[in-house]
Structure 1
Amino acid sequence: MNRIKKVLALIHIIPWAFALLNFTVEVLVNDRPFRPQALLIGLYVFYAHLYIFTKYLNKKKYQSYLWYLIWIFLTGPLPFLVFAIFVNGKVSTWMGFLNYYSNSISIVIIFILTSTLVGVIQNLIINTVKKEQLEKQAINTELVYLKSQINPHFLFNTLNNIHTLVYTQDSAAPEAMMRLSSLMRYMIYESNASTVPLSTEIDYLQDYISLQQLRYKATPVVDFQVEGNTETCHVAPLLFIHLLENTYKHSPSRLKPCSIKVRIEVKENVLVATFQNPIGKKTGNLLEEPGGIGFTNVQKRLQLLYPKQHSLVIDKNDEVFTAELKITNLHTQTNEKKAQLLHN
């Protein structure tokens, strides 16, 4: 908001600085007499017209605007006439009055046009800011909605699995409870931030994988690999969960060890996340499952968060389904988001 006020102040300062410069040149360079009445006419006409421009013309009250515009034309030259009559004593005839009046009309027209230009620029700035605020509000609302579409079936299945562990007094029950607690804490509280450290997002994925592993008694079915510095890299929260979730949804009911492969690589300011899973016999449409998050919503969220900075490539054959997400200029965008948060 302070930035907007500075810009609006600047568009007022520039024309007046130009007017003062012109008056100075006329007096010092061209050796013409200093006429303060011209400056008084300018001040009156400029701000009187800007007021009626904002109050009436912007609200499409054309008749009221026209009447006040005529009033400004009639009263604008008064400072010129007052100086001519009472200060200089040069107006003694009706023709002299008309002569001074006609000379000052040109000044009135100039400052009305200048005021109109400033009013138009102000409208453009204010309308642009309002549009940006509405778009930002719409984006935030849509992101909240998309984040809320985490599949609830996973939570129900996890609770049932933990119930079984507790009932059988399995030693894995306490760790499973801690994993679920950590996962829920991240989803409910930490995911409200605009960005989180990539390492925190990876911890969330690992909690999810550990809870999914309760369904399988064999060796871990997910091969999870991370390369690069994840501590300094920041991403939007819950960025990968839908892609990981789909690897389980569309895999066979029985999985071999390390048959699901997840790889997250950070190199300079580029992040590449790859999710690969074997294809089950009855997977349906892998890109859009009824009741699921669907890749359409994943792509929509990416477009909101990383416009022109991401690519999501889908590769599918008879045996393997692969989704590769690539985000560029990640560190630059993180710095910009932090700056925006500090500014707001």
Structure 2
Amino acid sequence: MDRIKKIFRLIHVSLWALFTLLVVLQLRGETNPHWLTLTVGVVASATGVFYSHFYLLTHYTGTRKGYWLRLAAIWLIGPLPFLLFHYKDFSLSNPFIGYYCMTLVTLVPIFIFLGWLARVTETLVINTIKKEQLEKQAVEAELYYLKSQINPHFLFNTLNNIHTLVYKQAPAAPEAVMHLASLMRYMIYESNAATVPLARELDYLRDYVSLQQLRYKNSPIVDLQISGNATACRIAPLLFIHLLENAYKHSPARLEPGDLKVCVAVQEDTLTFSVQNPIGQQATSPLEGPGGIGLPNVRKRLALLYPEQHSLTIQNTGHTFTVNLTIHGLHAPAHERKAQLLHH
């Protein structure tokens, strides 16, 4: 906000310098011997009227009657600086009252209007910026809240899995703890950024798959396919984990190799992420089980992070459940992304 006020001060100084230059050129062009004193008088009256009204509108919060009385005082006193510097040029044919009335109906109303226009313009710009800042803070707070839901939700499910391994005294338990430590390191230290490289997010998913694979004795049950240049774009962190987590949660207890299919495709500035799983015998529908926060969380984050830049579709064939997520415009400049975010 201080930077905006400095810009407005610079605009004020520049415009008054330009106005003074125009007055000097006008008076010198008329070969007026008193051009210097007349210039000082015109500029003094103009700035006096302008800033008197400008700050009256800024600071006065009294009654309407009080405002009009102060405005009338500005109007009547406004010509005096000009007349003070113009006094030496008075003659019988140009009496004091004539110059006073001329200034009263020409110069004064113009700069009263300009003072009002400047005040309205600055107020509009500053209020707009303040509104955008408040909206940005609200969006950031909601995103922080949504992201904070991920950590305890993910940790709760994973610790249950590790508890099972420890209870059975499985040799894979120490390895599971190491995988969890790696995942938590990413979630705590790296996912605080607004975006992360897509390749790093995919590494996080691979770690998660490796941790879950410890529960199964079969060959890898996840068929992960990646196409395109994953290093060429960035993505909001922790955006896919709920979808993959729910694929595990709502699949049958026994899974065969390749039953879970995860596909990530990057084409120009478009990313497509899909996950498919067989449907288990749960009473609740996938992604919508009691206490689940997966799909609502993903939808809210997408609406905030990628408004009008994404599509999320769900397909249930009765045997398989497929979620397709497409995000467009991953290479949009940061200022355009921020403008869209604030607008929505």
What's the TM-score bracket when you normalise by the shorter of the two chains?
A: 0.7 to 0.9
Q: How do 1:1-344 residues align onto structure 2 when only pairs under 5 Å count?
A: 1=1, 4-5=4-5, 7-9=7-9, 11-12=11-12, 15-16=15-16, 19-20=19-20, 22-24=22-24, 26-27=26-27, 34=35, 35-36=38-39, 37-56=41-60, 59=61, 62-85=64-87, 87-90=88-91, 96-105=95-104, 106-150=106-150, 152=152, 154-166=154-166, 170-286=170-286, 288-333=288-333
Checking the alignment, whether the CA contact within 8 Å between 2:273 and 2:326 is kept in structure 1 is yes
Q: 1:140 to 1:16 in 2, by over 3 A?
A: same
1:252 and 1:64 mapped to 2: Cα distance?
78
Give the CA deviation at 1:27.
Answer: 3.1
- CA contact under 8 A between 1:12 and 1:118: conserved in structure 2? no
1:88 maps to amino acid: D
Query: Which sections of structure 2, spanning at least 5 residues, go unmatched?
Result: 339-344
Amino acid at match of 2:98: N
In structure 2, how many angstroms separate the alpha carbons of the residues matched to 1:260 and 1:131? 46
- The sequence identity of aligned pairs, in percent, is 54
Distance apart, 1:208 and its partner CA: 1.8
SS state at 1:205 partner: helix
The one-letter amino acid paired with 1:96 is P
- Cα distance change of structure 1 residues 81 and 262 upon mapping to structure 2, 3 Å threshold: same
- CA displacement, residues 178-216 of structure 1 (integer Å, 9 cap, x when unaligned): 110011112222221111111221122122222222333
- Specify every segment of 5 or more residues in structure 1 that has no aligned partner in the other structure, as ranges: 339-344
Q: Distance in 2 between matches of 1:161 and 1:289?
A: 18
Matched residue of 1:258: which SS? coil
Superposition TM-score, scaled by structure 1 size = 0.85
Structure 2 Cα separation of the partners of residues 66 and 12 of structure 1: 25
Change over 3 Å in CA distance of 1:39–1:241 after alignment to 2: same
Q: Partner of 1:342 in structure 2?
A: none
In the superposition, relative to structure 1, how do residues 253 and 283 fare at CA in structure 2: closer, same or farther (>3 Å)? farther
Shift of 1:128: 0.8
Determine the C-alpha separation between the residues in 1 that align with 2:101 and 2:335.
Answer: 58
Number of matched residues? 333
Q: Once structures 1 and 2 are overlaid, which stretch shifts more, 5-14 or 123-132? A: 5-14
Stretch deviating more after TM superposition (253-262 or 211-220) = 211-220
Q: Distance in 2 between matches of 1:289 and 1:169?
A: 30
| Distance apart, 1:88 and its partner CA | 2.2
Q: Return the letter of the residue paired with 1:264.
A: V
Distance in 2 between residues matched to 1:22 and 1:288, nearest whole Å: 71
